[in-house]
């Protein structure tokens, strides 16, 4: 995967809550939580609590200093 997408990190987690519109994901390694709309989840079936997920993420780049 590193050769195809250099600079991206694979972050793994588990679904801890499912509602009619979104899922809440808790990431491993104290990386926090994220609530994602169902339309942004790539899956062949409806998600369930306990399903494992992964997210490809790059580092955040500061584009201005806010002044």
Give DSSP secondary structure letters for the chain: -TTTSTTEEEEEEEEEEE-SSEEEEEESSS--EEEEEGGG---SS---TT-EEEEEEEPP-------
**pLDDT band, very low/low/confident/very high, at 5 (cuts 50, 70, 90):** low
pLDDT of the residue at 3: 63
Structure tokens at 10: 């694979």
- Rounded distance between C-alpha atoms, residue 9 and residue 62, angstroms: 18
Name the average pLDDT for the chain.
Answer: 89
Q: Are 48 and 57 in contact (CB under 8 A)?
A: no
**pLDDT band, very low/low/confident/very high, at 59 (cuts 50, 70, 90):** confident
């Amino acid at each position: 995967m590193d050769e195809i997408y250099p600079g991206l990190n694979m972050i793994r987690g588990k679904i801890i809550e499912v509602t009619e519109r979104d899922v809440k994901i808790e990431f491993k390694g104290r990386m926090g939580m994220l609530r994602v709309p169902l339309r942004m989840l790539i899956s062949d079936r409806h998600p369930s609590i306990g399903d494992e997920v992964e997210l490809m993420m790059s580092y955040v780049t500061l584009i201005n200093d806010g002044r």
